[in-house]
Structure formats: C-alpha cells, structure tokens
Amino acid sequence: MKIRILHKGFNFSQDGPGNRLVYHLQGCNFFCPWCSNPESIAFDGTLMRIDGKEKLSCTEYDTDEVFDEILSGKMMMFSGGGVTFTGGEPTVQFDALKILLEKCKNSGINTAIESNASHIKFCELSDLIDYMIVDLKHYDSEKHKDTIGSSNERTIKNIREVAKKRNQLLIHIPLIGNFNSSKEDALKFAELIKSFGNEKIDVEVLRYHEYGKDKWLQCNMEYKMESGNVTDEEYKDFTDILKKNGVSIIKT
C-alpha cells in the first residue's frame, strides 16, 4: 500500500520516549490557522516555492519500503525509543498507518502516535500504540468548528473511549491567545479532562509560536493569526488552574 510522507528522521524529544524514528505523514482534516506545518494539510501534497524553486511537500512510498527502513533503524531506537507517526494528521492515511503499526507491534518495536483523534476508527488503533499523544484544542464544539473548520465532538468521544482502557495517555493543549487561553477556559479544560476518569492522563500545554509563519507564504497561503501570543503570566495562570483541579501537567 502507498503512503505519503512529508518528512522523516530520528528525533530525541517530544515525540515519545527515547530516540525515535519520526514519520510526518501528509494530509490533515483540520485547518488550524496557527499550524506550523501548513504544507502538511493538503491530502495529496502542497506545491511549495522555496528559493524560487517549486517543490511538492511529500513523497510517496510503499509501506513495505517504509517498514524495511524502520527495521534497519532498529539499532538506533535506544533509551526506550521506537517509531512515531505524526503529521499532518497520521490517521488521514488510516489503512497504511494501521499496516505499519501492526508490523511494528509484531516486531517488538515501540510505537507512538500524535493525532488530533478525530478519525472515526481512531480507537481501533489504541492496542497498537504504546505511547499515545492526542491534541485537544478546545473543549467547546462551536469554537472549535469556527476556528478549525471541524467540530471537536468525535475527538472528545474518542479520547473518552481510549481513556477507559489505556495506562498511558498524553494530551497536548495548544495554548492560543484569544482562542482557549483564559482562566475560564482552563477551568473548562480541567473539568473535561477529569471527566475522562483516568488518573494516568498527563497534559502538556504548548504555547503558541510563529515557527510556521514563513511556510504559509511558501505554500502561497495567507497566515491569518494576529493575536495568538500568550504571556508568561497567562501560561502560569492556565497551568496552575489545571493543576489545582487535579490535572497532571508535564513538560516533555
């Protein structure tokens, strides 16, 4: 089966434990205006203009070829490392992703995923994933839909479902000014996360940054974020409220 990959390489931070071979898969069903990989959004790839030259954002491979690469990199997966699939949104290429997760699992390779958890069959993957990171961008469906283009209902349903049986689950909250960063927002996030009923859930709050801004221009798309910055005080207030309400906050 074919799979479109945006980029790939080893990384020792943020994408799961240890040294990991990280695959960024092409395609995303959300459209976050702060996305730092906007070239990853179009399902079939984005034509980027870099230094006057045009380049397609992704390359197509066969899943067998990708798995051979994973096997040959096994020695490098030290300190509890393995393979991570992120994006874009990795579940957009669900069948190819599942094949690779199954092959990794059968070969004893540690697997991780970072996902917006919105795919209808997302929960099917849970047993194949050792380290799961899900993005929870907002607790309110309307606000989620207004800003990102899709509601959060399936995401919340899926997180609730996988939380019932997982011993590990990391939730990423991207903290975006004028979107989800107020004290009231923090309380609502805490309420939602506690309602998942799993003491093993950790949360990492990731502050807005503009790292992807130039890429929007390279993709010939307008960067529409104007006021996403969050002050140190707002970040502290937000995380303090989560902690006070019994949410485990970590930094990876």
Candidates 25, 28, 129, 170: give the one binding ligand SF4 (CB under 6 A).
Answer: 28
152 counts as binding ligand SF4 under rule CB under 6 A: no
Cα separation values, 113 from 20, 24, 191, 239, Å: 11, 10, 25, 24
Q: Which stretch binds ligand SF4 (CB under 6 A): 2-10, 36-44, 96-104, 229-237?
A: 36-44
Min dist CB 37 to ligand SF4, Å, is: 6
Residue 72 neighbours by CB under 8 Å, 6+ apart: none
Choose between 40 and 93: whose C-beta lies nearer to ligand SF4: 40
Task: Give the number of residues in contact with ligand SF4, rule: CB under 6 A.
Answer: 12
88 counts as binding ligand SF4 under rule CB under 6 A: yes
Q: Beta strand pairing status for 169-175 and 201-207?
A: parallel
**Tokens matching residue 5:** 């990959």
32 counts as binding ligand SF4 under rule CB under 6 A: yes
Candidates 22, 25, 41, 219: give the one binding ligand SF4 (CB under 6 A).
Answer: 41
Min dist CB 220 to ligand SF4, Å, is: 17
Which residues ranging from 112 to 151 are in contact with ligand SF4 (CB under 6 A)? 116
Residue identified by tokens 């949410």 is: 247
**Tokens matching residue 234:** 């707002």
Candidates 4, 6, 77, 89: give the one binding ligand SF4 (CB under 6 A).
Answer: 89
Min dist CB 135 to ligand SF4, Å, is: 6
In 3D, which of 65, 44, 66, 71 has the Cα closest to residue 56?
Answer: 44
The contact set with ligand SF4 (CB under 6 A) reads 28, 30-32, 35, 37, 40-41, 87-89, 116
